[in-house]
């Protein structure tokens, strides 16, 4: 289920409770927008907690209504908010359903990943390639291999696609990586989140060749022991978890 549903339900219920409070129990609340908004936020947070939503929703619920009141008080033209919303939408797209936001692999990770590519020419795919920065770096290091990136968020895809035009061994496509058959790839790279890892494992097991590598940046496949784990010497202590799903058929 999309995490947006309980969030919207909590805020609507929070508003209804705050409204009822201002009508029945404490009428002065209606005249104070910040206090009303805080009451709504706290009620929403409580409902979110009862609905067993992840705990980080609590501060979001408490802070959102007062911030909304403050934003309205700025009297900015509606176009500013609409543009900000459109920009966020173009960058993060359907993060609510994919549960995979945009964050990028760094240069140290790209160098380490390049070392893990098999020595012979092969195809490499980045599932959800973001702005394509990682692929551009490793495609330069391995001109004998072919690199493919698939991205569904419009703005990162556009940046990746424009950036790939001059690299002949790199192809960036717009689309959903769940629809991409993985059988022809010698290395599949994924930097996603914990949410899709079991689904990815099921797909990789079915489709990947026995020798092909699945490398997950940071997120382990539940109940699977990686064949190898590579620690990257960066500040966020990136770990590359290497699996061979095709061997577990």
Ligand X SMILES: C[S@@+](CC[C@H](N)C(=O)[O-])C[C@H]1O[C@@H](n2cnc3c(N)ncnc32)[C@H](O)[C@@H]1O
Under the binding rule (CB under 6 A), the answer on residue 130 touching ligand X is yes
Dihedral over Cα of 85, 193, 62, 43: its sign:
positive
Query: What does the per-residue mask of binding to ligand X show for 69-108, with x meaning CB under 6 A?
Result: ------------------------x----x-x-xxxx---
Q: CA end-to-end span of the chain, whole Å?
A: 29
> Token pair of 10, please?
């909590």
In the chain, which residue ranges form alpha helices assigned H by DSSP? 4-20, 33-50, 57-73, 78-92, 95-98, 107-116, 133-141, 154-164, 197-207
CB of 219 to ligand X, least distance (A): 9
Under the binding rule (CB under 6 A), the answer on residue 129 touching ligand X is yes
Nearer to ligand X, 56 or 77 (CB): 56
**How many whole angstroms separate alpha carbon 86 and alpha carbon 83?**
5
Angle of helix 4-20 relative to helix 33-50, nearest 10 degrees, comes to 130
Under the binding rule (CB under 6 A), the answer on residue 128 touching ligand X is yes
**Cα 149 to the center of its chain, rounded Å:** 16
Near ligand X in 131-150, by CB under 6 A: 133-134, 150
Q: Which residue is nearest to ligand X (CB)?
A: 128
CB 101 within 8 A of CB 92: yes
# binding residues, ligand X (CB under 6 A):
23
CB of 140 to ligand X, least distance (A): 15
CB of 237 to ligand X, least distance (A): 16
Under the binding rule (CB under 6 A), the answer on residue 151 touching ligand X is yes
Binding interface with ligand X (CB under 6 A): 93, 98, 100, 102-105, 126, 128-130, 133-134, 150-153, 156, 176-178, 191-192
């Amino acid at each position: 289920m999309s995490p947006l549903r309980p969030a919207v339900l909590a805020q609507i219920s929070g508003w209804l409770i705050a409204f009822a409070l201002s009508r029945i129990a404490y009428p002065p609340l209606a005249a104070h927008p910040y206090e009303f908004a805080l009451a709504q936020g706290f009620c929403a947070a409580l409902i979110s907690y009862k609905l067993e939503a992840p705990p980080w929703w609590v501060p979001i619920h408490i802070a959102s209504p007062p911030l909304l009141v403050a934003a309205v008080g700025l009297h900015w033209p509606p176009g500013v908010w609409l543009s900000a919303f459109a920009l966020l939408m173009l960058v993060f797209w359907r993060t609510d359903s994919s549960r995979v936001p945009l964050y990028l692999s760094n240069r140290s990770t790209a160098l380490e990943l390049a070392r893990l590519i098999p020595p012979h020419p092969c195809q490499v795919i980045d599932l959800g390639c973001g702005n394509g920065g990682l692929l551009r770096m490793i495609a330069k290091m391995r001109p004998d291999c072919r690199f493919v990136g698939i991205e569904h968020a419009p703005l990162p895809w556009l940046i990746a696609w424009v950036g790939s035009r001059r690299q002949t061994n790199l192809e960036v496509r717009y689309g959903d990586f769940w629809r991409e058959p993985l059988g022809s790839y010698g290395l599949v790279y994924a930097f996603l989140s914990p949410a899709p890892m079991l689904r990815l494992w099921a797909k990789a097991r079915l489709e990947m060749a026995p020798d092909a590598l699945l490398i997950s940046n940071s997120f382990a496949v539940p109940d699977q022991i990686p064949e190898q784990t590579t620690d990257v010497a960066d500040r966020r202590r990136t770990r590359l978890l290497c699996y061979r799903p095709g061997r577990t058929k």
